[in-house]
C-alpha cells in the first residue's frame, strides 16, 4: 500500500455522522465540535428531536434513506443506504463504484447507545416490555462500524465524547486509526455485554441453569491497586443488571484491595446464613476464624473475636446489626482491615473514624442473590449452584446410644452451617452458638481436628468441655473423632457414608458422646 493511501486510512476526515442515542446526556459539547468541523448529522426519532431542540442542524433518517420508519420504530436504521454508508471500504474501487452508482454517501462517524434493556429488567417484570427494549438497529450499526474501523469511528458511550472531541481538535476534524481501533474494541465489548445480559435473562426466565453456551457479563467498577500480591494486576467487575455499584457503601478508610474484597465476599456469604440473632463473622484469608450468634450484638462480637484473637488481627469483620457506641469502642481495641455492618450510628462513626485506614462499609442495602459459583482455569471454567442447603433437624440421624436434646440440636445446626464455609478439610468446634476452634484447609482430616483442638485449647480451653464438633465430610477412620473426644467434645455432627462408619460409631459409643449423621457433605475447595 502506498504512503498516500496509508495516510488516508491512518487519519480519516469525517464528513457525515449518524447519531442515535437512548441516553441523550452531554450531547451539546459534541454537537458544537461537529458543527465547528462542518460535519453533517443524520439522526432518528427522539435523538433528531433533541438535536433540533438544542439548536443544531440535522437530517432525519427517514428523509436521508427515503424510507419511512415502520413497525413502531423497530425498522428505521436497518436500511442499505445506512449500512452501505458504514461498511464500504474507502480504498476498494469496486466499493467506491457501487456507492457512486447508488448515490450513497459515506457515513464516517456513528454515535450510538442502546435501548436501556438492563434498566427495564430492573424496573419491570413484564416480559413483553423487556423484549421490546432489546435493541436491534443500534447493535447492528455498532457492529458494522466496529468491523470497518479502518474507515469509520464508532462511539458507544457518552464517556468517550471528550476523547472524540480531543481527537477531532488535535487532527482538525480527522481521527487516527489507533483511536478508531480502540473505540472498535470497546464497541464489540459492549455488544457482547449487551447480548450476554439478554441471553442470561432468557436463561433465568426459562430456568436454564447450565445452557449449552454460557456468557458471563461484567462491567468494570474500578482498577484495584494490585491482586493477591503486589506483582499481580487486578480489577473488580459488577455482574448484575444494576452495574453501577455493589450495593454496599464505603463510608471511610483506604481503597479496598483484591484481598479485602475476597474476604468481604466470604464474610457476606456466612453472614447471610445467620438469621436467628445478631451475628458476627470474622474472616482471615477467606476462612472464618470466628463466628457467633447472640441476642446481644456486643456479646456476639466479643465471642466471635475470642474464638481466635491472633488470627483476627488485620481481619475483615461483618455484622448483621447496626453498630452503636458500645460495639465501636470494642471494635477499636483491635486492629481490623474492614468492618461491615447494617448501619452505624453517629457516635460509632466518630469512634471508628479515628482509625484513618479502617475501611468502614455500610451493607444496609446489600442482599445476597445466591448466584452460581464459578472457578476458572486457563481456557475453561467450572460452574456450580451455591451450597445453600440447610439441614432439617427432623431428618438428622442419631447413630449413638445417647441422643441430643432440642438445644443441642440447634447448636448442631449452627456448627454444621459454619462448617460449609470453611475450606476443606474442615472441622469446626462450637459452644453456645460461637466457634471456639476452627481447623481449615488440611489434606488430612485428622490434622484439621488437631488444629481445631489446638486453637480451642489456646483461646477457649474452658469451653471445649461439652462442645459440638462439625465435620464437612465423613471421618474415614476413628482417629479424628478420638482426637476430638480426648479434647472434651461431647457431640459430633458429620455427613456419614464411610465404609468405616461403624468403627467411628463404636468409638463414639465407647466414649459416651453423641453423634449425628446429616447425609449432606459440605466440601469447599
Catalytic residue positions, numbered:
147, 285
**∠ CA 341-301-257, rounded to 5°:** 50
d(CA 470, CA 212): 38
| Helix, strand, coil percentages, rounded to 5, for the chain | 40, 20, 40
d(CA 76, CA 44): 8
State residue 218 phi and psi, 5-degree precision.
-160, 140
C-alpha cell at 71: 413497525
Q: How many CB atoms lie within 10 A of CB 137?
A: 22
- Pairing relationship of beta strands 336-341 and 359-362 according to DSSP bridges: parallel
Cα four-point dihedral sign 324, 326, 328, 331: negative
SS3 assignment, position 85:
helix
C-alpha cell at 75: 425498522
Query: Residue 126's Cα: distance from chain center in Å?
Result: 25
d(CA 24, CA 190): 18
d(CA 200, CA 185): 22
Q: Is the Cβ–Cβ distance between 200 and 206 less than 8 Å? A: no
The residue assigned the cell 471454567 is 381
Q: Is the Cβ–Cβ distance between 454 and 476 less than 8 Å? A: no
Indicate the burial class of 127 (C-beta count within 10 angstroms; 0-12, 13-18, 19 or more). exposed
d(CA 323, CA 338): 14
- Pairing relationship of beta strands 16-20 and 109-112 according to DSSP bridges: parallel
Burial of 468-493, coded b for 16+ CB within 10 Å and e otherwise, reads: bbbbbbbbbebebbbbbbebbbbbbb
Of residues 467, 403, 461, the one with CA closest to residue 433: 467
Residues with Cβ < 8 Å from 234, sequence gap 6 or more? 223, 224, 225, 226, 227, 228, 258
Q: Is the Cβ–Cβ distance between 313 and 286 less than 8 Å? A: no
d(CA 306, CA 162): 54
In a 13 Å sphere around the CA of 234, the CA atoms on its Cβ side amount to: 17
d(CA 293, CA 129): 44
How far, CA to CA in Å, does 337 sit from each of 253, 279, 332? Answer: 9, 19, 11
Amino acid at each position: 500500500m502506498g504512503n498516500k493511501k496509508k495516510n488516508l486510512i491512518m487519519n480519516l476526515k469525517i464528513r457525515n455522522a449518524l447519531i442515535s442515542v437512548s441516553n441523550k446526556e452531554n450531547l451539546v459539547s459534541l454537537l458544537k465540535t461537529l458543527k465547528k468541523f462542518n460535519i453533517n448529522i443524520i439522526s432518528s426519532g427522539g435523538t433528531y428531536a433533541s438535536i433540533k431542540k438544542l439548536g443544531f442542524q440535522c437530517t432525519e433518517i427517514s428523509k436521508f434513506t427515503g424510507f419511512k420508519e415502520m413497525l413502531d420504530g423497530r425498522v428505521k436504521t436497518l436500511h442499505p443506504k445506512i449500512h452501505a454508508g458504514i461498511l464500504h471500504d474507502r480504498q476498494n474501487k469496486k466499493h467506491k463504484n457501487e456507492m457512486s452508482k447508488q448515490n450513497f454517501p459515506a457515513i464516517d462517524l456513528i454515535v450510538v447507545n442502546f435501548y436501556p434493556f438492563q434498566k427495564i429488567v430492573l424496573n419491570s417484570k413484564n416480559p413483553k416490555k423487556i423484549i421490546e427494549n432489546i435493541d436491534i438497529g443500534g447493535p447492528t450499526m455498532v457492529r458494522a462500524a466496529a468491523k470497518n474501523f479502518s474507515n469509520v469511528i464508532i462511539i458507544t458511550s457518552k464517556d468517550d465524547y471528550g476523547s472524540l472531541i480531543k481527537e477531532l481538535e488535535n487532527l482538525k476534524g480527522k481521527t487516527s486509526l489507533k483511536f478508531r481501533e480502540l473505540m472498535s474494541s470497546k464497541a464489540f465489548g459492549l455488544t457482547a455485554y449487551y447480548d450476554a445480559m439478554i441471553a442470561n435473562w432468557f436463561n433465568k426466565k426459562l430456568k436454564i441453569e447450565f445452557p449449552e453456551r454460557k456468557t458471563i457479563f461484567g462491567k468494570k467498577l474500578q482498577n484495584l491497586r494490585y491482586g493477591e500480591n503486589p506483582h499481580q494486576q487486578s480489577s473488580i467487575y459488577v455482574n448484575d443488571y444494576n452495574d453501577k455499584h455493589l450495593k454496599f457503601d464505603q463510608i471511610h478508610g483506604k481503597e479496598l484491595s483484591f484481598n479485602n474484597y475476597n474476604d468481604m465476599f466470604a464474610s457476606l456469604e456466612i453472614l447471610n446464613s445467620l438469621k436467628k440473632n445478631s451475628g458476627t463473622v470474622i474472616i482471615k484469608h477467606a476462612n472464618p476464624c470466628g463466628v457467633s450468634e447472640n441476642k446481644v450484638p456486643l456479646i456476639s462480637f466479643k465471642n466471635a473475636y475470642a474464638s481466635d484473637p491472633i488470627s483476627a488481627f488485620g481481619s475483615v469483620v461483618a455484622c448483621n446489626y447496626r453498630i452503636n457506641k458500645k460495639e465501636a469502642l470494642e471494635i477499636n481495641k483491635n486492629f481490623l482491615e474492614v468492618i461491615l455492618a447494617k448501619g452505624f450510628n453517629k457516635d460509632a462513626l466518630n469512634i471508628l473514624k479515628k482509625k484513618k485506614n479502617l475501611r468502614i462499609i455500610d451493607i444496609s442495602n446489600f442482599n445476597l442473590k445466591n448466584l452460581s459459583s464459578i472457578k476458572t482455569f486457563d481456557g475453561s471454567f467450572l460452574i456450580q449452584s451455591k451450597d445453600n442447603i440447610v439441614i432439617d433437624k427432623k431428618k438428622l440421624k442419631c447413630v449413638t446410644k445417647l441422643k441430643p436434646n432440642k438445644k443441642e440440636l440447634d447448636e448442631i445446626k449452627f456448627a454444621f452451617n459454619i462448617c460449609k464455609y470453611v475450606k476443606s478439610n474442615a472441622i469446626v468446634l462450637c459452644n453456645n452458638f460461637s466457634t471456639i476452634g476452627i481447623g481449615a484447609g488440611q489434606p488430612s482430616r485428622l490434622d484439621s481436628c488437631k488444629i481445631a483442638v489446638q486453637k480451642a485449647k489456646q483461646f477457649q480451653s474452658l469451653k471445649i468441655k461439652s462442645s459440638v464438633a462439625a465435620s464437612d465430610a465423613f471421618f474415614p477412620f476413628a482417629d479424628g473423632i478420638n482426637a476430638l473426644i480426648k479434647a472434651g467434645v461431647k457431640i459430633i455432627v458429620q455427613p456419614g457414608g464411610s465404609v468405616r462408619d461403624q468403627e467411628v460409631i463404636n468409638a463414639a459409643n465407647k466414649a459416651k458422646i453423641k453423634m449425628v449423621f446429616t447425609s449432606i457433605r459440605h466440601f469447599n475447595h
